Structure 1
């Protein structure tokens, strides 16, 4: 392991990945049609519920594995900005008694921004893919 910096980003990556995975899984386990209906009730097309749940599950797994880390983090940033603006902002930071506030969404957003900026090499499949591409380029140069 390179240093404390990489360990801290690894922890963020794994926790964020697991968190998104569980949120996506919950959408399906709770009955995705309920989520579809809820999306419709807030003025979003219901089919987006499938996309969001899929992104959360697949993206969560990808983050845990360290695969396409920066791309997945950017997608999660977009999801969190959308959730905060469209759903949570009106409830306030801590919520309004009927709905949770945006404090958790903001924490996820900050984690995703940090990972998107720095990347995460420790125990990441991205590291192996990058090494393979560098080795392949080196072979072509010879």
Structure 2
């Protein structure tokens, strides 16, 4: 395997892992916490409850897009506001995510992963960006 092939597969691994985690976070909000429960949680931490709906939809749709490698750069950038928003409720809990209430290290790291993914692009095994295909 060449270095280029290896890098392409590594980019794909990063894409699928971050997309899979994003998808899992969205699905748990929908099926375990329920939309009403997620709205209540958002309100309990000072966010408008209505924001829960675009967050759930974004996590599911953008997570799936990343897993599939569909418009990867745009999906990663579009997911950034969700992750940056998730830093806010953890900001006062200290750095470490093991702190009570969860610290801000994990949401910051995940935000950086999305920035890196946007810079790297699709990697191997991706559907790609349909606007850049030759007909």
TM range (shorter): 0.7 to 0.9
1:81 Cα shift? 1.4
| Count of equivalent residues | 132
**Structure whose CA Rg is larger:** 1
Query: Hey, what's the Cα distance between the residues in 2 that align with 1:75 and 1:12?
Result: 17
- Per-residue displacement from partner, 1:10-64 (whole Å, max 9, x unpaired)? 0100000110000000001222211101111222210111110110011111101
TM-score, structure 2 normalization:
0.87
* Cross-structure match for 2:89: 87
* Cross-structure match for 2:29: 27
Q: Contact 2:97–2:106 at 8 Å: present in 1 too?
A: no
1:130 Cα shift? 5.3
Unaligned runs of 5+ in 2: none
1:38 and 2:59 are equivalent in the alignment: no
Q: Secondary structure at the match of 2:79?
A: helix
For residue 59 of structure 1, the aligned residue among 48, 59, 62 is 62
Unaligned runs of 5+ in 1: 137-142
* Cross-structure match for 2:6: 4
RMSD: 1.9
TM-score, structure 1 normalization:
0.83
Query: Hey, what's the Cα distance between the residues in 1 that align with 2:25 and 2:84?
Result: 16
Question: Kindly tell me: are residues 3 and 88 of structure 1, through their superposed partners in 2, closer, same or farther at Cα, counting changes over 3 Å?
Answer: same
Query: Hey, what's the Cα distance between the residues in 2 that align with 1:9 and 1:107?
Result: 16
1:107 Cα shift? 2.3
1:98 Cα shift? 3.1
Query: Hey, what's the Cα distance between the residues in 2 that align with 1:52 and 1:33?
Result: 13
* Cross-structure match for 1:16: 18
Q: Contact 2:70–2:127 at 8 Å: present in 1 too?
A: yes
- Per-residue displacement from partner, 1:52-94 (whole Å, max 9, x unpaired)? 011001111110100011111012222111211x211111111
